[in-house]
Amino acid sequence: MRIVQKIRRSFLLRLPSYLPNCSVRGLFGQVNFTVMMTSGDNINRDGGSVGALVQKDTSSEEQVVIVEKLKSVSMLTLNRPKVLNSINLPLVSRVAELYEEWEKDEHVKCILTKAAGRVFSAGGDLRMFYSIGKRDESWKEVVYKKYWLDYHIHTFKKPIVAFWHGLVMGGGAGLTVACKFRIATEKTIFSLPEAAIGYHTDCAASYYLPRLKGHFGTYLAITGARLTGAEVFVSGLATHFVPSQSLLDVEKRLVALDTGDVNAIKSTIDEFSIIPELDQQSVLNRLDLVEKIFSKDSIEEITAVLLAEMEDAHDEWLKDAAKALKRSSPLGLKQTFRSVSEGRNRTLADCLRVEYRVTLNALRATISNDFYEGMRATVIEKDNSPTWNPATLPEVTSEKLDLVFQPFKEEDELQLPAEGKIPRWGGKYEHSQIR
């Protein structure tokens, strides 16, 4: 137990203010990306929520978000369990409306965020993006609104408690990683596998990942590493670890507490929080090796050091990491690495603006069709045999990457209230010039 506490304290030394350092009361065995993205259809279809205090009908395809108001606590439940609570335009639009309403409402003191089913969120709705494709840019609205929402969640003025029960991936993590309190359980699985399919870690990942200790965030981003609930907690990504059977009790207590006082909320969750045991093979037991490999200045250097380490040690973790890089899109790896590396010295707003550019260029296939090829191979046809173009790392030149990252015209950029030029809840898509 002392080892776990020591490792966690080591991580928390580097956590930014929006990943608050809560008391310890309160990355991986490599995963096949295709399995994570496609096998979930059979995970759950009962529509049940994690410990709902008020039973609601969750069967409606129309009701993408369920809202419950209990005293001064507002509860938000993502309600697309049949598609792993993947994020689409109706969901993003509704969540944005609710958060604006609740931040302005003086009667709302605290927000609880969870999801129906056994999965929190598998991230963006890739089938939606693939179906629209390059025939038009109607996907621009959901991209803009999601990043705009992410900024407001990171800067939200009231405490939000997120229940990370089940799978938490990509944009699903982006919805909650900045919440004041993030509760993991023994069933939590955290992963950011976007680089593998020719995309990039987005939704503010280029901001929060490099602010984890050392280059652990780089490791997560380019390998798509899967973390257990215990690892999520010990690494500091989650503020608490609560056994799943206690989640309903946590909800009841927070509602009864009827307060927005952060210390009182923390103390209440602490009562149910435990310190989980790490598996012997956990990546958290290899932090020195993670730093030695993933602190290098390029994907090519990282690969070289990784392969050299494999020759000197018979470690399955090294083999899994190497396999992850080998099967991933070279473009996805390089644009993810650049985004996370440069994010170390960017503000939250600048990270989101850059991610917005990279995302639009991926969907526009500005330099490559890799994102569509990745979606085809893993989600649409599921043949697990993508053909990447460019096919090798050297072919992804700095000049090509510059095209993906270069700024748009001012009127085409993501509009955020970061510099005080627009109101707190201004800059909405409906009022922008990019429509």
Helices (H), 199-345: 205-208, 216-223, 229-234, 247-257, 262-270, 287-294, 299-312, 316-327, 330-343
103 is known as an active-site residue = no
Nearest to 248 by CA among 356, 374, 112: 112
8 Å CB contact between 306 and 318: yes
Whole-angstrom Cα Rg for the chain: 21
Q: How far apart are CA 417 and CA 422, in angstroms?
A: 5
Q: What is the largest CA-CA distance in the chain?
A: 61
Catalytic hit among 170, 171, 174, 374: 171
| Region of 420 on the Ramachandran plot (φ > 0 left; ψ -120 to 50 alpha; else beta) | left
202 is known as an active-site residue = yes
Catalytic hit among 125, 150, 202, 231: 202
124 is known as an active-site residue = yes
Q: How far apart are CA 196 and CA 89, in angstroms?
A: 24
171 is known as an active-site residue = yes
Say which DSSP state 276 is in.
Answer: P
8 Å CB contact between 360 and 215: no
Q: Which amino acid is at 244?
A: S
Catalytic hit among 26, 117, 125, 194: 194
Catalytic hit among 40, 124, 332, 427: 124
Element (H, E) at 191: strand 189-191
- What amino acid positions are annotated as catalytic residues? 124, 171, 194, 202
